[in-house]
Amino acid sequence: MIFFYRILTFLLFPVFVAVIFLRKYFNKEDPIRFKEKININESFFPKNKKIIWIHAASIGETNSAFPLIDKLIKNDEKIFILLTSTTLSSSQIVYKKKLDKNSFQHRFFPLDVQFLVEKFLNHWKPELVIFIDSEIWPNFLMEISKKKIPLMLLNGRITIKTFNRWKLLTNLSFKLFGLYNLCLASSKESENNLKSLGAKNVKFIGNLKFCTTVNSEKKYNDLKTIFNNSHIWCAASTHPEEEEIILKTHNLIKQKGIKIITIIIPRHIHRSKAINEISNGFQIKSQIINKFEEVSKESEVLIINSIGEMINYFKNCKSIFMGKSLSKNLIKVGGQNPIEPAKCGCKIYHGPYISNFKEIYNLLKDKKIAYEVSNEFELSESLVRDFNNNTNKKNTDELNIYGEKILKLTINEVLKLKNEI
């Protein structure tokens, strides 16, 4: 199976390159650094450093890696962190961090084609490799194992849907998952699934995403000042069908004589115009907000048309609705990560379809941070109650302590594996 995968990826290499150039044309790739994905652009790093390579595919995984990176660099000045990611948005998040170039460098993850894999590993010569979440790249895993480089899966996440797919390829799953020296699972469910797929050394010490910090950028729209007599709430990571429920919720609250500002942050911002048209159909004064754009005092609904701004808006709100959870079309893939708003002190509402983050939501429910709603009537009633209550500062402090504990245990596991080299 691995042999055929290698042949197939080699034959498809020209197609992969064409797709990357096409994505560059549509501004979905970095206009200069896109070449890193086909490994044309080599880079230098300080000598006499121990290189730890961490791969985090997109924004969520990249953000969860930063606390770990910070601790590793502070722990040993000889450590050099190579962080790779796949998406353009994740690279933009890294750029904003402005980390020390003597201890850190970001690169785009190269294509999983055999000759590129060999070239990448021969250039960087990492002493430890950490893949975050569910990144399984056969050529990379095989070559890392061949070079006897310790390999770790961090915050490993294998949902039931993913597990069932791998079960169709039992021999391959045992071959690939068995290559990891250590797997730290993101949940008990993932721990059991990883073991069933052939991973040998599997532990669960907590979800790394609880370790993320929620420092926001400098505010350019202080909504509490602009709308000082209104209650502000936010619907984040919304999907089709959910925005209509959000707008109905807005109108139900407004009918009670309550001044309300609703923020909608769609999961895919290219849908902003469509959401604005739906809002107009409800006769609601809405405004599409691009980055650095001023908010009009006449607006009732703000539709956010930029990436990486959610925390700024969370900090203006007591209550958040997390999307991808109310539409029946999402019953098997529902749920978005609610940790960021929880750590901002927000009460979180969600629909019944949260299978992707079920364990996180259950933990937040136990701490009285997250609550399930089924429709606009339940959501509007809950929000009205929240407008007159205090924030969840105590619960937020508990989450921060919990995150610090997970980070400490994770660091210990990483250093233990590193010291075994």
Q: How far apart are CA 337 and CA 360, in angstroms?
A: 8
CATH number of domain containing 32: 3.40.50.11720
pLDDT tens digits along 113-126: 999 999 999 999 99
When mean pLDDT is compared across 24-33, 330-339, 346-355, 392-401, the lowest value belongs to 392-401
Whether residues 181 and 299 share a domain: the answer is: no
Judgement on whether residues 186 and 230 belong to the same structural domain of the protein: no
Average the pLDDT over each of 180-189, 241-250, 323-332, 407-416 and give the range with the smallest value. Answer: 323-332
Residue 219 pLDDT more than 60? Answer: no
Give mean pLDDT, residues 331-343: 87
CA 403 to chain centre: 16
pLDDT on residue 371:
96
Residues 79 and 201 in one domain: yes
- Which residues constitute the domain of residue 92? 2-213+404-419
CA distance 193 to 38: 33
pLDDT-derived band at 224, boundaries 50, 70, 90: confident
Identify whether residues 178 and 153 lie together within a single domain.
Answer: yes
CA distance from start to end of the chain: 30
pLDDT of residue 71: 92
Cα–Cα distances (Å) from 2 to 9, 17, 114, 237, 260, in that order, read 11, 22, 11, 37, 57
Which residue type is seen at 302? Answer: L
Tokens 């927000």 -> residue: 346
Residue 414 lies in a domain: yes
Averaging pLDDT over each range in 74-78, 277-281, 355-359, which range is the top one? 277-281
State the average pLDDT for the chain. 90
Residue 179 in tokens: 């290559």
User: 227 and 206 in one domain?
Assistant: no
| Amino acid identity for residue 233 in this structure | W
> Per-residue pLDDT tens for 172-184?
999 999 999 999 9
pLDDT at site 236? 96
d(CA 196, CA 163): 9
Q: What is the pLDDT of residue 420?
A: 75
**Of 131, 128, 135, 56, which Cα lies nearest the Cα of 97?**
56
Among positive and negative, which fits the CA dihedral 201, 123, 99, 49? positive
165 vs 186: CA distance, rounded Å: 19
CATH of residue 300: 3.40.50.2000
Range among 33-42, 141-150, 329-338 with highest mean pLDDT value: 141-150
- The answer to whether 350 touches 372, Cβ cutoff 8 Å, is yes
The band of 394, judged by pLDDT with boundaries at 50, 70 and 90, is low
Q: How many angstroms separate the CA atoms of 69 and 75, rounded?
A: 10
Phi/psi at 164 (5° precision): -65, -35
Per the structure, the count of domains in the chain is: 2
Within 10 angstroms of residue 190's Cβ, the number of other Cβ atoms is: 27
CA–CA separation, 48 and 60 (whole Å) = 31
pLDDT at 60: 83
Cα R_g (the chain), whole angstroms: 23
109 part of a folded domain: yes
Q: Tokens standing for 299? A: 């607006």
Same domain, 300 and 346: yes
Say yes or no: 142 and 257 in one domain: no
Picking from 262, 233, 260, the residue whose alpha carbon sits closest to that of residue 247 is 262
Q: Are 179 and 281 within one domain?
A: no
pTM as predicted: 0.85
Is the domain of 411 the same as that of 394? Answer: no
Measured distance CA(329)–CA(102) in Å, rounded: 47
- State yes or no: pLDDT of 220 exceeds 60: no
The answer on 290 and 320 residing in a single domain is yes
Considering the domain architecture, whether residues 156 and 71 belong to the same structural domain is answered as: yes
Q: Which residue type sits at 34? A: F
Residues above pLDDT 90, as percent of the chain: 67
**CA nearest 111: which of 249, 9, 226, 263?**
9
Q: What is the C-alpha separation between 91 and 101, in angstroms, rounded?
A: 15
In a domain, 218, yes or no: no
| Digit-coded pLDDT (tens) for 243-291 | 999 999 999 999 999 999 999 999 999 999 999 999 999 999 999 999 8
- Check whether residue 149 and residue 290 sit in a common domain: no
| Cα 320 from Cα 346, distance rounded (Å) | 6
The pLDDT assigned to 221 comes to 59
Mean pLDDT of 303-321: 89
Instruction: Provide φ and ψ at 333, rounded to 5°.
Output: -130, 20
272 lies in some domain: yes
